[in-house]
Amino acid sequence: MFMLKKLIEQKIISQNEFNEMKVNFKNLLAEQFKTAKEYKPKLEWYEGVWSRFKPEKGKDKRGITGVPTEKIKKIGKKLVMIPKNFNVHPKIKKIFDNKKKMFETGKSFDWSTAEQLAFATLLDEGYPVRLSGQDSGRGTFSQRHSVLRDQSDNTYYTPLNNISKKQKKYEVIDTLLSELAVLGFEYGYSLSEPKALVVWEAQFGDFANGAQVVIDQFIVPGERKWTRASGLVMLLPHGYEGQGPEHSSARLERFLQMCAQENIQVINCTTPANYFHALRRQIHRGFRKPLIIMTPKSLLRNKRCISNIKDFFFWKFIS
C-alpha cells in the first residue's frame, strides 16, 4: 500500500485506479479466507514409487503377516547353516546349534530368532531389509549375530543374504555415535524406498535423545506437517531395565504423548511372535506408518519369553 501511495503522489496511477486495486485485493483475501476452511492439500507423495500405496482410512490395519510352518522350517535351515571350513567362534556355534533345535522341534523360539525369521521371510518374498545402528550386526546384548566372522582370516558370512536365489538384499550397518545424522538419513531412505523394511536401532533406548529433533520435527508430524508417509521402524532397547541413570529408560511415555490422529505406532511386544508379526506388518499393508518398538534386554534370554512355530502362522495378534 505504501508503494501504491507513492505511485499516486508521483502521478503514475490515479486515485481511482488505486481504490479499485485496493478493493480487488481485499476481495481476494476474503475469498481465500472462505475457501481455506475446505482446503485439502494434494497428497503428492503418492506418486512414482509410492503409487501403489494410499492413505490409511481406518480399514483393517493388521495385514496378513502369518507364514506357513513348512516355509519357516525351510528358511530356518538356511538361517542356522554355517558354511564348511568357516571357523566361527565356539560360543556362536553353540548359539546356532540351539537355533537349529528350535526349528527341528518347533518350540522355544527366542526373540532374536523371531527377528531373523521376520527379516528372512520378507527378503524371500522380495522386500529388501535395511538395519542400522551402533553394533547392530552383533546386537548390543550379543543376541543378534546376523553377521558371522571367521576367526582365522576375518572374513564375513551373512546368513540372511543366503536364503534363496530370488531374495532381496539384507543390509546391516554398524553406524557411528551420531544418532541425529543416522536417523535423519534412515528416515530419508524410508521416504525413497517404501517397499523396503528400514529399521534404525538405538544402542540404548535413551540414545534416541541425540536424534530428538528428527523425531519431533519429521517422524512424528511427517504426514501433517510435510505430507510425507514413512514406514521407518525405530527399535529402542530397554523399557525400565535399571541400567543406570543414562540407560534406564527409552521413555515410552514421551512417545505416547506425541501420538495424535494415528500419526505413529508405539508398541511394547511381550513375545517373540508378537515382534515377528509387528515387523512383517510394516510391509504387508497398503499404507505406511512410523513404528516405535520398545525392545527388551531381560526378555532376550528369558526362558518364559518364547514362542512356538505355530505362533508365526496365526497373525491376529493386535488390531
Q: pLDDT tens across 211-228, in order?
A: 999 999 999 999 888 888
- The span from the CA of 250 to the CA of 194, in Å, is 26
2 three-state secondary structure: helix
Rounded Cα distance, 40 and 18, in Å: 34
What distances in angstroms separate CA 10 from CA 5, 15, 23, 25, 176, one per listed residue?
A: 9, 11, 21, 22, 64
The more confident residue out of 172 and 245 is: 172
Predicted TM-score (pTM) of this structure: 0.84
Which amino acid type is present at position 123?
A: L
What pLDDT, on a 0 to 100 scale, did the predictor assign at position 40? 76
End-to-end CA distance of the chain: 57
Confidence of residue 1 (pLDDT cuts 50, 70, 90): low
Spatial separation of the C-alpha atoms in residues 271 and 308, rounded to whole Å:
10
Phi-psi sector, 135: left (phi>0), alpha (psi -120 to 50), beta = left
pLDDT confidence of residue 54: 77
Quick one: pLDDT band at residue 18, thresholds 50, 70, 90? confident
Confidence of residue 16 (pLDDT cuts 50, 70, 90): confident
Beta strands at 156-157 and 148-149: parallel, antiparallel or unpaired: antiparallel
Mean pLDDT for 115-130 is 97
> Percentage of the chain with pLDDT > 90?
65
Nearest to 123 by CA among 197, 32, 192: 197
User: Residues with Cβ < 8 Å from 139, sequence gap 6 or more?
Assistant: 112, 145, 146
CA separation for the pair 65, 310 (Å, rounded): 13
Q: How confident is the model at residue 179 (pLDDT cuts 50, 70, 90)?
A: very high
The Cα-based distances of 45 to 51, 134, 234, 263 in angstroms read 8, 31, 22, 16
**Grid coordinates given for 164:** 534363496
- Cα-only R_g, the chain: 26
CA atoms 319, 240, 172, 211: torsion sign: positive
